[in-house]
Amino acid sequence: MTASPSSCGGLEVLLSTLQNAGDVESTINILNVLDELLSAGTNHRIHYMISKGCSEALLTALVNTGRSFSPNFNLLLPLLHLLAKVGHRDRRIGVKAEAAGAPLLTLNLLRQNIKHARRAAACLWVIQVFSSSVSTANLIGENHGLETIYRIIPHFTTKHLHAIKAAIDAFAALLCTRANVCSVVSQGYVSGLLRLYEDWHAKAIQHAAVAICHSLLRCLHKVTRSSAGRQALVSHGGIRLLYGTTQTCLLRRGLESLVEPSVQLMRRCLTKTPLPLTSDRSAYSFPVPGREHAGPATDPQPDENSEESDDTEAEVSEEADFEDDLETDLNKLRFRPEPDRPKELLPQYSRLCPELSHDFQELCLCSEPEESSVTSSSSSSDEDAALLNGLQLPRSGTCCRWSDSSTSSSASDTGSHKPAASQLEARDFHSHGSILSTRTKAREASDEARQGHSEEHQDEEDESHHRSMIDSLLEKHGVCIPHHEPQLYRAAAATTRSIPGFSVLAFPDFWGHLPTPGLEPMAPRKPNVQRQKVFEDVQRFLITEGIINQVVFDLEDSSLQCPSDSLRFFSKFECGNLRKAVQVRRWEYDLILNADANSSQHTQWFYFEVSNMVAEVPYRFNVINCEKSNSQFNYGMQPVLYSVRDALEGRPHWVRTGTEICYFRNHFCPARGRRTTTFYTLTFSITFKHNEDVCYLAYHYPYTYSALKAHLKVLQESVDPDRVFFQQQVLCCTLAGNPCPVVTITACPASRAWKDMHQLRNRPCIVLTGRVHPGESNASWVMKGTLEFLCSSDPVAQSLREAFVFKLIPMLNPDGVVNGTNRCDLSSEDLNRQWSNPDPVLSPTIYHAKGLLYYLSSVGRTPLVFCDYHGHSRKKNVFLYGCSVKETLWQSGSTVNTVGLKEDPGYRTIPKTLDRLAPAFSFNSCNYLVEKSRSATARVVVWREMGVLRSYTMESTHNGCDQGIYKGLQTGTRELQEMGVKFCLSLLSVTKDVKSLYSHMDNDVLDHKSHNCFEDDEPPCVEEIEYSADCAALNAADLDSDVNANTTDADEEEEGDEGHGEAKLRRGSVGQSLQSSTRGRLFPPAM
């Protein structure tokens, strides 16, 4: 700074004089003025001072003053104090200091003044500030700065507390580099830090030294960023020490602030524990055409030599950075790509438009409904026959188990299995461990079935006994469930192909489900529930007494015998997912989910049977290999439970259940893969109502592929063939050989007159798809509501049928649904990322669904609306994603001038209508952005390639709503089906005669008062899900308070007694810093 005072402002004059001043008094006066400016200034003023070279001027003055043989500390102290305050706010202070040669000079000043507390504290604060630069911290570490500072830190004392805290804070600041951390670990300082923390913590009960404990915890957090640091802490008993001190903290009001950083440190340092699996790959493997069969041997070996660091373990987000992910290429947004197949292949899809070729002769003939019904499909007649072939109800208790011999049935060419009638044999009702939930009722039913039969004839008459028993159960305990017939479901399941060849029907799927009578509120979160669960997990590590750790269920080991007093688990049925259950304690179980078939990922969905429980005892369940970094389970969501006893007593409900629910990162890692993979625990407790019940637990309301087949059959037989054209066909077969149904629904023409037939064949198409992701079962319940409404006699439904032709593909991923996967199909691919160029062999349902859409466009019947039904695990409410060129460009900050771009705003019509119609819908949660990462999804491809303006993804929450009349309530199957109905009603907004169609609706449904009650996405969880964050760093207000307290001491070396030392501690920030992060202000008010 060489500008003359005449050409500079007042600040420049002061800074220039500071660098060039020769006398002590002038320099001190300038420092006092700058300190006043800093103290009274706003952030803007402070950064203005820094921009004008305040840091450089102070560094120059420090170097000039400190180089003298006998530095004048009357000048150096205020200079160091001011440099600490300014430097803490200057992001480049470390680089500037290194350029000026200040770090080593300050370190030498510290060494010369270790016995002078105030001087040492001032040097330490400056070293702490300099260490914000990695290179500067390394420079100080290489010159033995760590050793120098470590030796300053004493065991508990009441003297020189500011200097002690400054030393610990400076030590923590130097640990920002890997080299310094390695040095600390190698020199054994971790053990010393633990002993220091133990000593200070013990005395902090009686003295105000809590902030020093905080600073020591900050050092330990920094050290344990490396695997060597974590191992050192564990090997020196750090977890046991932290656990003990934390229990003490919980009993002392003044020490609560030490609990959270201690808990986070314990979580971080718990030894990585491989999942107790032989392979990370799914227990279900399937021979994919064109690929080598992937077995467990392909698992990568763990890289034991890799240097792990928590700061490199952050989960890769499912979504790319929001703004960077938005598509900004105008050509990709505006122009259609060429079709992915020749036009000559499209006519094959004409069969899927039966409304165009059907002659409707039944309008003129008086034949029987069975002969004239247009609801049947020739392409599915063989399947229909199979569904009704009278297969016996499988049994072993109410879980309806077939004999194990059925699992050995010959595999299809694709490697999947289906049970065959000839291979089913009757079994004794009690022969399986998973028995009827009410053993008493089971015995009564069994006795009724066996009346009049002798023991010696039991085997040959077992089958008839079984059939009469099931009939008796249905007659005595069955509940009329709309659109559900248990025997029809059983017949449908008999033709379903699965990888393992399921020989079991889950009772809820067979018996049926009715929505609960009332709405279920979100579960309140118990304060500090996660902390308590973490403590229990730490206890498992520290105290082995009472730990059982016994495998009680293994999907891959059917011969496993579990103890008589443990819960019994089972998941080998359609949609089921539970790979292994480990009894940890008497009432606690770790559950491991099965990865998607042919992969080692995508664990979230679960559905399993549990039995042999004791009533009124809280059981803790830990799902320990979840993958998502957050979950609605942290925000009031509960899993669902189905009780067989309740069902037999007339309450066949899936109900939300569970207490003490939380979702957080754990210490487990893959069995054989890299240890850097992150898993999360979903933990919840359940108190069962009945002894020895049979219950089913699931992530969300299950909806199986067999349920869809049976439901479509019921709908097919229920519609009025004179009014409803309902035709079910097979889109294609899946990899496993399961037919993928496609349904056409519209109104029959009034007559065969040309005008009526012409109107029919020119109705616009609405294409609806769903369940591409198997774990999103809520999408199927929404689709169920849509299907039932479109087939109903409701006047609005008839109006919609007369206005549109509906093409519905209710389940795009049957194989995934059947085999209990969460995200993928049997080729281990996410089918909703295959739409750009689907493989006809590996992704047949997507290939042919896209082919149908191509065909409709080629014959001038481009769908008016396309909507893909999904579920969302991270947000509340129901909302739509659409596509808009302008909104994408606006949001991305693109430089493209959008003034001249013309875009039909009609893509917002349906969302706006839904916001008025549907209580669960949130217009403000919708967006219409085209992301690069979503370029191969159905929504974007149908919009871009087929030109469908109203191309949507409809996301339904797994949890509930935070707005409107459903605010604070979890959605059930009733509300999900209602959403399917409301979506149909919203289509009225795109008809030509909206006014007359709205006249069919009640006025009270037009405004549900939800659209003004929007609350944004979830706030951060009340407890830290992750444990990678360090203790909160010392902020500017804390540092200012420490420095100011150091300047108030009149004597350079004020010893004082213990009481006086405590008074100094309370006067400075040491006694205040616990609250300073929340209520401290950057500067005191200007005078």
* Whole-angstrom distance, CA of residue 542 vs CA of residue 547: 11
Residue type, 657: T
Please state, in angstroms and rounded to a whole number, the distance separating the CA atoms of residues 307 and 233. Answer: 16
Q: Is 569 helix (H, G, I), strand (E, B) or coil?
A: strand
Query: What's phi and psi for 570, nearest 5 deg?
Result: -160, 140
Q: What are the DSSP E strand ranges found in 897-992?
A: 950-957, 969-970
Which residue reads 């795109």 in tokens? 990
> What type of residue sits at position 1019?
P
Q: What span, in angstroms and rounded, lies between the C-alpha atoms of 962 and 971?
A: 11
Q: How far apart are CA 882 and CA 905, in angstroms?
A: 11
Could you tell me the two tokens for 663?
Answer: 């979702």
Give me the amino acid identity at 523: A
Q: Among 425, 442, 431, 426, which Cα is nearest to 396's?
A: 431
Q: Which residue has the tokens 């690929």?
A: 291
957 close to 869: Cβ distance less than 8 angstroms: no
Of 114, 202, 129, nearest to 163 by C-alpha is 114
Longest CA pairwise span in the chain (Å): 120
Q: 955 an active-site residue?
A: yes
Axis crossing angle, helix 1036-1048 with helix 1058-1067, rounded to the nearest 10? 140
CA distances from 528 to 243, 258, 259, 680 (A): 16, 14, 11, 18
Report strand pairing: 865-872 vs 950-957: parallel
Q: What backbone torsions phi and psi does residue 726 show, to the nearest 5 degrees?
A: -125, 115
Catalytic-labelled residue, pool 955, 978, 1026, 1062: 955
Amino acid identity at 130: F
Quickly tell me which residue has 């105030």 as its tokens: 118
**CA count, 13 A, side-chain hemisphere, 489:** 24
The HSE-up count of residue 110 (CA atoms within 13 Å, CB side) is 30
Residue listed under structure tokens 């046991």: 240
Structure-token pair, residue 1001:
């609706």
The residues with which 643 forms a beta bridge, in sequence order, are: 695
Which parts of 223-305 are beta strand (E)?
Answer: 273-274
Tell me whether residue 948 is exposed, middle or buried, using C-beta atoms within 10 angstroms of its C-beta: 0 to 12, 13 to 18, 19 or more.
Answer: buried
Structure tokens at 460: 């040959």
DSSP result, 193-233: HHHHHHHHHHHHTTSS-HHHHHHHHHHHHHHTTBHHHHHHH
DSSP state of 337: P
Rounded to whole angstroms, how far apart are CA atoms 1081 and 1065? 19
Q: Is 276 helix (H, G, I), strand (E, B) or coil?
A: coil
Could you tell me whether strands 568-570 and 520-521 are parallel, antiparallel, or unpaired per DSSP bridges?
A: unpaired
Angle at Cα 308 formed by Cα 669 and Cα 278, nearest 5°?
Answer: 25
Residues whose CB falls within 8 Å of the CB of residue 881, separated by 6 or more in sequence, listed in order: 926, 927, 928, 929, 939, 952, 953, 955
The count of other CB atoms within 10 Å of the CB of residue 1002 is 6
Residues 958 and 632: their CA atoms lie apart, in Å, by 8
Residues 6+ apart with CB under 8 A from 1059: 158
The SS3 of residue 886 is helix
- Residues β-bridged to residue 698: 607, 640
Tell me the catalytic residues: 955
